[in-house]
């Protein structure tokens, strides 16, 4: 019981912190719009109450005297009505203005949040995306931001307006009759327990709803990405069953959240109607029997205020649910923004001369404030490196590699042997546990990550293109490259041959999935993209895995020209692509078990020999 109370207090405290952080964000986005909105909200709330109070004067000072005059003079009544019209006009204009301003402000906040989320997302380490589903991350950009915008544009203004209206109404009611006001409180106190129960339950299920929404979006994305595999293995029934499970969980959470939320308004509305009837009865009885003298105008004004008393409470209850739901989304957004960015304490940068093909240099700060230029030669050393993704579960064990400038190093081994993990070490997608990695004698931790990665071109096993033309996708490796540079890179990778067969050649527009291109053609574009980057070190992670044998021979010839004079690391299943490597490292469960060139490894007649002769296959 005590634990449940503590958890509840923590949840409430967390929501308050999120709300305060959100309000600070809104205020910093456009302070003047928020200030004007708050002023107009106060005017809108006050005008309605003043209009209701004016009913007392209207009845007592203008309508009743008219009934006693032999020749009624409607001038004062017309003036009073004009005053009421003016009061309500101010309220209408104020209401319109604050709704418009808050709508615009919500769009500004939405624009800012999306920008901040995307900018921060790009600074996050690869490990964050390994641990979080893409669909769940996308849900924060869509569903969570949408609920946040609705909260800013509607829920918060309506909640504030209702809270102010309730405050003004209570003060006005007390000014007319404290007895009837106390009676009104007693009636509504009876409904407080019900309202509180429904609010707590709905807020809980709204949080569950947002979580389930993220889960189903993540599942849908996973199924879409693997749609071909699902069809190949006729796995549609199982996929549908998984979707039905997530969909049913979302339906139940959403159903319960909205059931509890929507029942609040009719309960409060009917309580308002009941209060109206009871006040009419009690107020009339007091006026007739003089228990607590009230004029006819005061009773009429109080009846009007009683309706305004019940409606804000109903609206507050209604908007609270929307606010709670939006806060759940805001918490997920802030959770992403609060993730720690990649740590980068490096101070060594990279640069090259103004002319294409000129030498790359490391800019190493010296203690005296000067900057030493060190030529980028591509000398990479792994010195007894150990690494684990999860503590106490090592992946790489005592890895030592000496990749001299211009050397072609091949990594061979079964799936899970640690080949790709090694490539993740020298571009610092992950940092090593122990040991040392140097690049041209400089520890890579001293090199800024962006500059380190600028020195490496990577062709990944899974090809990813971007929506745009063929030329745009190749130029992605070097935005400053000329059209001739693009053509040259395409020819070297042998992508030029199939590009000319396309209807619009290099101006053919493709989408992120490659459009009608084959996997092999997409791989060729990826290789051309790496070629045009023209960086000192090349990493090929199964770069020819999706290319047929004939195309592979053409690509290999182009790669030999590309890799000449620069350090390269090749991860490959096909041993035919690495026989000309200067150094071949055979890995097994994170250990280097054999090393040497092709001829040396064959003479050893060990693991590599068995792979090359076909006695063993790479799994």
Please write the tens of the pLDDT for every residue from 261-286: 777 667 666 666 777 777 777 766 66
In this prediction, residues 312-319 reach a mean pLDDT of 73
In this prediction, residues 12-21 reach a mean pLDDT of 78
Total length of the chain: 619
Binning pLDDT at 50, 70 and 90, where does residue 307 land? Answer: confident
Q: Is the pLDDT of residue 400 over 90?
A: yes
Q: Which of 423-427, 488-492, 542-546 has the lowest mean pLDDT?
A: 542-546
Q: Which of 167-181, 219-233, 517-531 has the lowest mean pLDDT?
A: 219-233
67, exposed or middle or buried, with CB in 10 Å at 0-12, 13-18, 19+? Answer: exposed
Binning pLDDT at 50, 70 and 90, where does residue 357 land? Answer: very low
pLDDT of residue 476: 85
Mean pLDDT highest for which of 58-72, 227-241, 463-477? 463-477
pLDDT of residue 442: 92
CB atoms within 10 A of CB 43: 18
Q: What is the H or E stretch that residue 222 is in?
A: helix 178-225
What are the DSSP calls for 550-588, one per residue? HHHHHHHHHHHHHHTTSEEEEE-S-GGGTTT-SEEEEEE
In this prediction, residues 110-117 reach a mean pLDDT of 89
pLDDT of residue 564: 66
pLDDT of residue 438: 93
Q: Is the pLDDT of residue 203 over 60?
A: yes
Q: Tokens standing for 117?
A: 């989320």
Give the dihedral of Cα atoms 557, 561, 562, 568; nearest 10 deg: 80
Q: Are 286 and 183 in contact (CB under 8 A)?
A: no
Give percent of the chain with pLDDT exceeding 70: 85
The matching CATH number, chosen from 3.40.50.720, 1.10.3720.10, 1.10.40.60, 1.20.1560.10, for 3-338 is: 1.20.1560.10
Residue that the structure tokens 């304490």 belong to: 345
Distance between CA 106 and CA 146 in Å, rounded? Answer: 10
Higher pLDDT, 7 or 337: 337
pLDDT, tens digit, for every residue of 36-75? Answer: 888 888 888 888 888 777 777 777 776 777 666 655 666 7
The dihedral through the CA atoms of 143, 148, 153, 157 has a sign that is positive
Q: Tokens standing for 545?
A: 């895995």
In this prediction, residues 198-222 reach a mean pLDDT of 80
pLDDT of residue 70: 59
Task: Mention every residue, 6+ apart, whose C-beta is less than 8 A from residue 57.
Answer: 80, 297
pLDDT of residue 5: 42
pLDDT of residue 423: 82
In this prediction, residues 217-231 reach a mean pLDDT of 78
The whole-model pTM stands at 0.65
Q: Is the pLDDT of residue 607 over 50?
A: yes
Binning pLDDT at 50, 70 and 90, where does residue 402 land? Answer: very high
Give percent of the chain with pLDDT exceeding 90: 8
Binning pLDDT at 50, 70 and 90, where does residue 401 land? Answer: very high
The closest of 440, 408, 406 to 565, measured between CA atoms, is: 406
Q: Is the pLDDT of residue 356 over 50?
A: no
Question: What are the beta bridge partners of residue 386?
Answer: 434
380-613: in CATH 3.40.50.1000: no
CB atoms within 10 A of CB 472: 17
Every domain of the chain and the residues it spans: 3-338, 380-613
How distant is the alpha carbon of residue 592 from its chain centre? 40
Binning pLDDT at 50, 70 and 90, where does residue 13 land? Answer: low
pLDDT of residue 550: 66
Q: Is the pLDDT of residue 2 over 50?
A: no
Q: Which residues of 497-517 are buried (b: 16+ CB within 10 A; e: fewer)?
A: ebbeebeeebebebeeebeeb
pLDDT of residue 443: 92
Binning pLDDT at 50, 70 and 90, where does residue 4 land? Answer: very low
The closest of 229, 145, 172, 140 to 46, measured between CA atoms, is: 172
Q: In degrees, to the nearest 5, what angle opens at C-alpha 77 toward C-alphas 75 and 80?
A: 115
What phi and psi values does residue 226 have, to the nearest 5 degrees? -105, 25
Average pLDDT value for the chain: 80
Q: Which of 236-240, 418-422, 572-576 has the lowest mean pLDDT?
A: 572-576
Q: Which of 213-217, 310-314, 395-399 has the lowest mean pLDDT?
A: 310-314
Distance between CA 217 and CA 552 in Å, rounded? Answer: 38
pLDDT of residue 561: 63
pLDDT of residue 69: 62
The closest of 162, 151, 170, 174 to 42, measured between CA atoms, is: 162
In this prediction, residues 77-89 reach a mean pLDDT of 81
pLDDT of residue 286: 66
Q: Which of 126-140, 181-195, 332-346, 520-534 has the lowest mean pLDDT?
A: 181-195
Strands 349-352 and 360-365, sheet pairing: antiparallel
In this prediction, residues 364-371 reach a mean pLDDT of 88
The two domains 3-338 and 380-613 share their CATH topology (first three levels equal)? no
pLDDT of residue 233: 66
The closest of 607, 611, 610, 603 to 574, measured between CA atoms, is: 611
Q: Is the pLDDT of residue 6 over 50?
A: no
In this prediction, residues 325-340 reach a mean pLDDT of 86
């Amino acid at each position: 019981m005590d634990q449940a109370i503590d958890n509840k207090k923590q949840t409430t405290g967390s929501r308050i912190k999120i709300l305060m952080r959100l309000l600070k964000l809104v205020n910093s986005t456009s302070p003047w719009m928020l200030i004007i909105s708050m002023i107009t909200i106060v005017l809108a709330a006050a005008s309605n109450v003043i209009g209701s109070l004016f009913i007392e004067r209207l009845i007592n000072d203008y309508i009743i005297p008219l009934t006693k005059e032999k020749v009624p003079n409607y001038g004062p009544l017309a003036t009073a009505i004009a005053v009421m019209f003016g009061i309500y006009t101010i309220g209408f204009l104020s209401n319109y203005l604050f709704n418009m301003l808050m709508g615009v402000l919500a769009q500004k906040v939405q624009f800012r949040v999306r920008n901040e989320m995307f900018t921060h997302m790009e600074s996050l380490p690869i490990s964050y995306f390994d641990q979080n589903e893409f669909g769940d991350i996308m849900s924060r950009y869509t569903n969570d931001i949408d609920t946040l915008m609705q909260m800013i544009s509607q829920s918060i203004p309506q909640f504030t307006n209702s809270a102010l209206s309730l405050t003004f109404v209570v003060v006005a009611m007390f000014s007319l009759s404290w007895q009837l006001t106390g009676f009104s409180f007693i009636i509504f106190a009876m409904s407080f327990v019900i309202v509180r129960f429904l609010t707590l339950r709905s807020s809980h299920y709204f949080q569950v709803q947002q979580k389930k929404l993220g889960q189903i979006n993540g599942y849908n994305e996973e199924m879409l990405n693997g749609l071909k595999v699902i069809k190949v293995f006729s796995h549609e029934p199982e996929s549908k069953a998984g979707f039905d499970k997530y969909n049913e969980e979302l339906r139940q959470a959403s159903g319960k959240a909205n059931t509890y939320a929507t029942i609040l308004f009719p309960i409060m509305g009917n309580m308002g109607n009941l209060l109206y009837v009871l006040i009419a009865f009690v107020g009339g009885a007091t006026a007739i029997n003089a228990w607590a003298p009230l004029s006819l105008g005061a009773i009429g004004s109080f009846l009007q205020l009683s309706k305004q008393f019940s409606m804000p409470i109903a609206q507050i209850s209604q908007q609270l649910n929307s606010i709670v739901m939006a806060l759940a989304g805001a918490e997920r957004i802030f959770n992403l923004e609060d993730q720690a960015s990649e740590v980068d304490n490096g101070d060594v940068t990279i640069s090259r001369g103004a002319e294409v093909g000129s030498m790359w240099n490391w800019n190493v700060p010296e203690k005296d404030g000067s900057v030493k230029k060190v030529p980028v030669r591509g000398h990479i050393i792994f010195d007894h490196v150990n690494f684990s993704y999860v503590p106490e579960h090592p992946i790489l064990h005592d890895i030592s590699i000496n990749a001299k400038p211009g050397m072609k190093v091949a990594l061979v081994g079964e799936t899970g042997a640690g080949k790709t993990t090694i490539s993740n070490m020298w571009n610092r997608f992950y940092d090593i546990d122990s040991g040392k990695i140097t690049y041209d004698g400089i520890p890579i931790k001293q090199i800024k990550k962006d500059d380190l990665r600028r020195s490496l071109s990577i062709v990944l096993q899974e090809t990813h293109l971007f929506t745009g033309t063929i030329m745009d996708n190749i130029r992605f490796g070097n935005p400053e490259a000329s059209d001739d540079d693009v053509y040259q890179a395409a020819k070297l990778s042998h992508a030029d041959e199939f590009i000319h067969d396309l209807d619009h050649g290099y101006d053919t527009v493709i989408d992120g999935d490659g459009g009608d291109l084959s996997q092999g053609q997409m791989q060729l574009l990826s290789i051309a993209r790496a070629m045009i980057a023209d960086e000192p070190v090349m990493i090929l992670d199964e770069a020819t895995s999706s290319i047929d044998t004939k195309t592979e021979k053409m690509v290999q010839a182009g790669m030999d020209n590309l890799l000449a004079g620069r350090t390269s690391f090749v991860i490959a299943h096909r041993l035919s692509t690495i026989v000309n490597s200067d150094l071949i490292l055979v890995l097994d469960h994170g250990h280097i078990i054999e090393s040497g060139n092709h001829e040396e490894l064959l003479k050893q007649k060990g693991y590599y020999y068995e792979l090359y002769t076909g006695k063993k296959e790479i799994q």
